[in-house]
Amino acid sequence: MPLDAHEVVTKFAPALARIAASYERDPALRDELLQEILMAVVSSLPRLKDPDRLKPFLFRIAHNRCLTHVTQRIRERASQEPLDDLAVETAGQDQALIERERGQRLLEAIRRLALPYRQVMTLILEDMSYEEIAEALAISVANVGIRVNRAKQQLKVLLKHE
Amino acid sequence: MNDDFLLRLQADWQSQDNDADKVLRRLRRNRWTPHIVLGAEILVCALAFMVGLWFAWIAMHDAQHRLLFALSAAVLLLVAPALCVAGVMARRPSLAWDVETPESLLEVGIRRAESSLRAIRIGRWHVAIIAAFVITLWMAEALGFIHAIDFLILYTTVSLVVSVASWLWMRWRENGVRSEHAACVRLLAALQVDNGIDS
């Protein structure tokens, strides 16, 4: 039975928004990018043959659309802000704020990863298996494993995690 | 996944706030906008075509301004359908986002940037073409084939303004396309270094 496009985009929009955020810092451009991803999903969905492969299908579209966005917007991208700017004092803040702060720090760190590592890491964080990531990015499972390990090492440095 | 570091990151990652709902609402609200814009473009082209027909009719019945209206009619009758077709073609989805790979997308990006740069170089010739057309009109005026000096002054001014504006726009666009090309080449190199693992 064909999948309902409205249901699919409603269910996966938050995850696709996180992928868009890993490529675009500007909130207005990020919303625009998410809208383009959702439109690409709606127009591509009839071509999905196996509904069990929905996640790799959606995330491949999202990463492909984001990659094109990056190459087109490259000249407009502002220089990277230092990560330390986000390292504000968190003592005394409520739990939600601290969580939001951690999420924001992680997003900044992800944006600093080189493209191959950023792609696998965002998919790992969306709870995808190595096989699904390999399918989404058209690379081997072994390559996914190597990229994840390298991305993890870089993230540990960026987040000063020991 | 039994990696504490990744599990913690996963929790932080998925707890992020985002504006997905706002974008979803906008997507539903604007779902007809592209069709409306395309419809408006087709309408404008149809109007330009009708003005072209009207000019052709004037050229047939007004001996005094025949050449001027005949030339203008020819331009409108040729350009309006071409713009209409270009508008429709430009909206056809050219990439299958679910089939492409990151590498193939970047290769497409490089090819497109190269073809845009070629198109921009060709586009620069438009200034020479417009200049030749304006000079021809002035010669026709000087030789007495047409008598429309006021119209020619206006026509020359508009052509000059449009030519200078397009020249500047093409320079700006060329810089953008060059940056895009460089970005595609750089990202492709980064992916290919990592894909060496597979080979």
When CB atoms are compared, the residue of A18, A35, A75 closest to B13 is A18
The contacts of residue B77 (CB under 8 Å, 6+ apart) are B49, B52, B53, B56
pLDDT tens for B25-73 read 888 887 788 788 889 989 999 999 999 999 999 999 988 888 889 988 9
pLDDT at residue A10 above 60? yes
pLDDT at residue B7 above 70? yes
CB pairs under 8 A between A and B: 146
Amino acid at B55: F
- Choose, out of B10, B14, B15, B16, the residue to mutate when testing the contact with A (most A CBs < 10 Å): B16
- B115 vs A82, residue with greater confidence: B115
**Chain B partners within 8 Å of A34 (Cβ):** 19-20, 23
**Chain A partners within 8 Å of B195 (Cβ):** 139, 143
- Choose, out of B4, B14, B23, B175, the residue to mutate when testing the contact with A (most A CBs < 10 Å): B23
Q: Please provide the distance, in angstroms rounded to a whole number, between the alpha carbons at the two ends of chain A.
A: 48
pLDDT tens for B146-196 read 888 888 898 889 888 988 888 888 888 899 889 889 989 999 998 887 766
When CB atoms are compared, the residue of B93, B97, B182 closest to A64 is B97
Alpha-carbon distances, residue A146 vs A120, B13, B51 (angstroms): 10, 21, 64
- Chain B contact for A9, CB < 8 A? yes
**Chain A partners within 8 Å of B9 (Cβ):** 106, 125, 155
**Tokens at B156, concatenated:** 């020359």
- A145 vs A73, residue with greater confidence: A145
pLDDT at residue A75 above 70? no
A33 vs A71: CA distance, rounded Å: 13
The pTM of this model reads 0.72
Whether B1 sits inside 8 A of A124 (CB atoms) is yes
Interaxial angle between packed helices B149-195 and B125-142, expressed in degrees from 0 to 180 and rounded to the nearest 10: 170
When CB atoms are compared, the residue of B27, B99, B175 closest to A38 is B27
pLDDT tens for A94-117 read 666 666 788 888 999 999 999 999
Q: What is the mean pLDDT of chain B?
A: 86
In this prediction, the answer to ipTM > 0.90 reads: no
pLDDT tens for B63-85 read 888 888 998 899 899 989 998 88
Looking at residues A62-80, what average pLDDT do you find?
Answer: 75
Distance from CA of A80 to the nearest CA of B (A): 16
A30 vs A24: CA distance, rounded Å: 6
A45 vs A113: CA distance, rounded Å: 30
Radius of gyration of chain B (CA): 26
pLDDT value at residue A116 = 93
